[in-house]
């Protein structure tokens, strides 16, 4: 099989799966025609969510999603599952808000029990996710922890395995992002914290989890458009995202021998708490996502179907891959 054919197959599968999983949001928002036949009207992606510039706002890191204006859409009211992950046991880091929250909600509504990790001060957002998971009839486990140390990562995995009765889905999503115009403004403390959170933790959590993961398990890492096209104001953050891409590809080759798949989702500008807690330069929040070909930033709910697709057995031949969601700008 040629490289071109492989890429078309993977991305085509992602688009098809995303289309299926996105049916519910369209229905919930009144975009249905011919309800009896199950036909869903197509929607213009440029206007599915607001393209109005976001108002300037700032919160102390790590920020609470519930205090953002507007509050991000993580599929709380729209995502409907179809049993694609029935009986699975998932651990999602950064699962209280943003992309991790969207994945956790979708996993639960697809039939998985879900443990979420989050920074301790994010407890209010985490409690909301717990309620949403339980409302889907699944087990929810809250595991607050600062994952910047090996000990914390090892304990996190052990706690998740014990509480869930096993582990076969791992989403490494937690991240730290601070924008700086020049390398001279990046303190050594910031540089170290970014690497500890974004790539050291992924290595440590994956290493701790793998012995408990049976064949058929899946690891999904959250990369970024910065894995391919680094933003000049995100030098340290983008460097970790490049590392995540290579880590994903290398680990996938190793774990293929164990029957465990490893993939990456590469988001572009997505409206999450990262952006209001130092992720954007002062005064620039109104420009966030405006330069994408679709003319807007994405919402976490738009990524949830990609995580579900990669986690499901339907994507059983996809490993070592990266799937993008960037509004038409960037790679892959």
| CATH number for the domain whose boundaries are 67-325 | 3.40.50.720
Mean pLDDT, the chain, rounded, equals: 90
C-alpha–C-alpha distance, residues 213 and 208, integer Å: 10
Give me the DSSP letters along 101-112: HHHHHHHHHTT-
pLDDT in tens, 8-44: 333 444 444 444 444 344 333 333 333 345 788 899 9
18 vs 316 pLDDT, higher one = 316
Helix count (H) and strand count (E) of the chain?
Answer: 10, 7
With a pLDDT cut of 90, the percent of the chain lying above it is 86
CA torsion sign for 62, 200, 204, 258 is: positive
Q: What share of the chain is helix, strand, coil (3-state, %, to 5)?
A: 45, 10, 40
- Once rounded to an integer, what is the mean pLDDT over residues 273-282? 95
- Please list, in sequence order, all residues whose beta carbon lies within 8 angstroms of the beta carbon of residue 91, skipping any fewer than 6 positions away: 114, 115, 116, 117, 143, 156, 157, 160, 164, 167, 169, 170, 171, 205, 209
The pLDDT of residue 196:
98
Residue 325 contacts residue 303 (beta carbons within 8 Å): yes
List the single range of 15-24, 130-139, 270-279, 303-312 with lowest mean pLDDT: 15-24
Domains of the chain, residue spans: 67-325
Residue 112 pLDDT > 70 = yes
Residue 329 scores a pLDDT above 50: yes
Asked if residue 158 has pLDDT above 80, the reply is: yes
Give which of 174, 179, 263, 187 is closest to 219, Cα–Cα: 263
- Its sign, for the CA torsion 245, 246, 251, 254, is positive
Predicted pLDDT of residue 39: 81
Give the residue-averaged pLDDT of 114-127: 97
For 234-246, the pLDDT digits (tens) are 999 999 999 999 9
Q: Please state whether the peptide bond connecting residue 70 to the residue before it is cis, i.e. omega within 30 degrees of 0.
A: yes
Taking only the tens place, the pLDDT of each residue in 291-306 is: 999 999 999 999 999 9
pLDDT at 172 over 80: yes
pLDDT digits (tens, 9 = 90+) for 44-69: 999 999 999 999 999 999 999 999 99
Angle at 245 between CA 239 and CA 246, to 5 degrees: 95
- Whole-model pTM: value is 0.88
**Cα separation, 172 vs 206, whole angstroms:** 8
Residues 6+ away with beta carbon under 8 Å from 48 = 302
Residue range 208-232: mean pLDDT, rounded = 97
Bridge partners of residue 116, in order along the sequence: 92, 142
* Secondary structure (3-state) at 31: coil
Active site positions, annotated:
237
The two structure tokens encoding residue 53? 């510039």
Can you tell me the distance from the alpha carbon of 239 to that of 30, in angstroms, rounded to the nearest whole number?
A: 42
pLDDT at 37: 55
Give the per-residue pLDDT at 41.
81
Q: What is the pLDDT of residue 133?
A: 98
Share of the chain above pLDDT 70, in %: 89
Q: How far apart are CA 169 and CA 88, in angstroms?
A: 7
pLDDT at 7 over 80: no
């Amino acid at each position: 099989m040629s490289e071109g054919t492989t890429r078309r197959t993977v991305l085509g599968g992602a688009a098809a799966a995303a289309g299926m999983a996105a049916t519910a949001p369209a229905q919930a928002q009144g975009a249905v025609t011919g309800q009896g036949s199950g036909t869903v009207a197509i929607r213009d992606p440029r206007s599915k969510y607001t393209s109005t510039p976001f108002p300037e706002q700032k919160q102390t890191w790590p920020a609470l999603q519930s205090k953002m204006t507007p509050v991000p859409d993580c599929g709380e009211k729209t995502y409907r599952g179809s049993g694609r992950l029935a009986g699975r046991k998932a651990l999602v880091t950064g699962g209280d808000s943003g992309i991790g929250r969207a994945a956790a909600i979708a996993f639960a509504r697809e039939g998985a029990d879900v443990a979420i990790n989050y920074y301790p001060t994010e407890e209010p957002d985490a409690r909301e996710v717990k309620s949403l998971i339980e409302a889907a009839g699944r087990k929810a486990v809250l595991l607050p922890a600062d994952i910047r140390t090996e000990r914390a990562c090892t304990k996190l995995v052990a706690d998740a395995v014990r509480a869930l009765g096993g582990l076969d889905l791992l989403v490494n999503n937690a991240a730290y992002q601070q924008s700086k115009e020049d390398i001279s403004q990046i303190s050594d403390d910031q540089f170290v914290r970014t690497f500890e959170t974004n790539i050291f933790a992924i290595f440590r959590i994956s290493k701790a989890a793998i012995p408990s993961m049976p064949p058929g398990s899946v690891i999904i890492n959250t990369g970024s458009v910065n894995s391919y096209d680094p933003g000049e104001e995100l030098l340290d953050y983008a460097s970790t995202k490049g590392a995540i891409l290579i880590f994903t590809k290398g680990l996938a080759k190793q774990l293929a021998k164990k029957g465990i798949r490893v993939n990456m989702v590469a988001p572009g500008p997505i409206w999450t708490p990262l952006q209001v807690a130092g992720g954007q330069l002062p005064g620039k929040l109104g420009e966030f996502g405006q330069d994408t070909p679709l003319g807007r930033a994405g919402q976490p709910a738009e990524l949830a179907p990609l995580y579900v697709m990669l986690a499901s057995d339907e994507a059983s031949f996809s490993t070592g891959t990266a799937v993008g969601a960037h509004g038409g700008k960037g790679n892959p």
